[in-house]
Amino acid sequence: MQRNAFKMQLKPGYEAEYKKRHDEIWPELAEELGKAGVSDYSIFLDEETLTLFAMQKLADDNTADELPETAIVKKWWAYMADIMDTNPDNSPVCIPLQEVFHQD
């Protein structure tokens, strides 16, 4: 099992909307993430900077790198594009974070 962490940026004024959309995550998106080997996925918000910190576990045989090619992920990105920083293809601007400490 691998741990994967990254950060994204929320646009000002969309804190409640971001939470609402994730509280109502589409079942087919959750299913696609699970099939790709993504589990224990959390996103935290730094309310001072509007930085989103994401942490997920990836199965050793995960196919998470293929998720951007799926229709449901592209649809989710388009749905979220108005409230966060995105790339031209609507994917969120994600900055990988290096793990410097872990304790079980």
Residues of the chain with pLDDT under 50: none
How do the domains of the chain map onto residue ranges? 2-96
DSSP 10: B
22 has catalytic annotation: yes
DSSP annotation string for 33-50: HHHTTEEEEEEEEETTTT
pLDDT of residue 8: 98
Residue 16's pLDDT is 98
Does this model's pTM top 0.85? My answer is yes
- Residue 54: what pLDDT? 98
Was domain 2-96 assigned CATH 3.90.1150.10? no
At 39 the pLDDT is 98
Q: Of 2, 22, 28, 30, which one is the catalytic site residue?
A: 22
- 67-87 pLDDT, tens per residue? 999 999 999 999 999 999 999
